[in-house]
Amino acid sequence: MLSLVVASLLLVVVGGETCVNPTVSTDTYTSKSIALSTETAYLAEFSVSCKDDVKGFNLFAEIESGVLVPVAIVPESSTYQVSWVRDHKKAVTGTIAIKMYDEEGYTAYRKQQRSESGDVGEVAPLFTINIEHPGVAKEGLFVQTEFIAVVGALLVWWCANSVRSQIME
């Protein structure tokens, strides 16, 4: 029994490394064409370097108020990626602040959500990244290309039918 307690404490101490004073470099993308996609996609890829050279720690992103999602990590590196989609009509435009939390911050966030006040703004994120989304725009022709193809096919059929009728006379 004592060895189980000691092993549990050892795992907590070893796995309890936190990133102190992180430096973040970010590369972001959002879909902007309404013709090429049915939803707006948001993507942020970022690398984190810590003062104490901690790597491979778990992160959680607050993509909207009250919604935390796990962040994907590239194995054996300090590069992370988070992405999500929204309908074009519900997509947020402008600067979107994505708050990042480590495991300790995630625990504090969830604890604050369950409290009576439920104000998660009191929990400080590890860092914040910004995504710029100008909104979606309709690009291209005034009409859809499928419509132009059908009109062209009908025009060819009409011309062929007219020539056939003249030959048959």
* Separation CA 18–CA 8 (nearest Å): 18
Report pLDDT digits (tens) over 15-50.
Answer: 556 788 889 999 999 998 887 788 999 999 999 988
Q: Quote the pTM value.
A: 0.71
Dihedrals phi, psi of 124, to nearest 5 degrees: -80, 130
Report pLDDT digits (tens) over 94-103.
Answer: 999 999 999 9
39 touches 88 (CB < 8 A): yes
* Separation CA 55–CA 19 (nearest Å): 8
Domain boundaries, the chain: 14-138, 141-169
- For domain 14-138, the CATH superfamily is Macroglobulin (MG2) domain (2.60.40.1930)
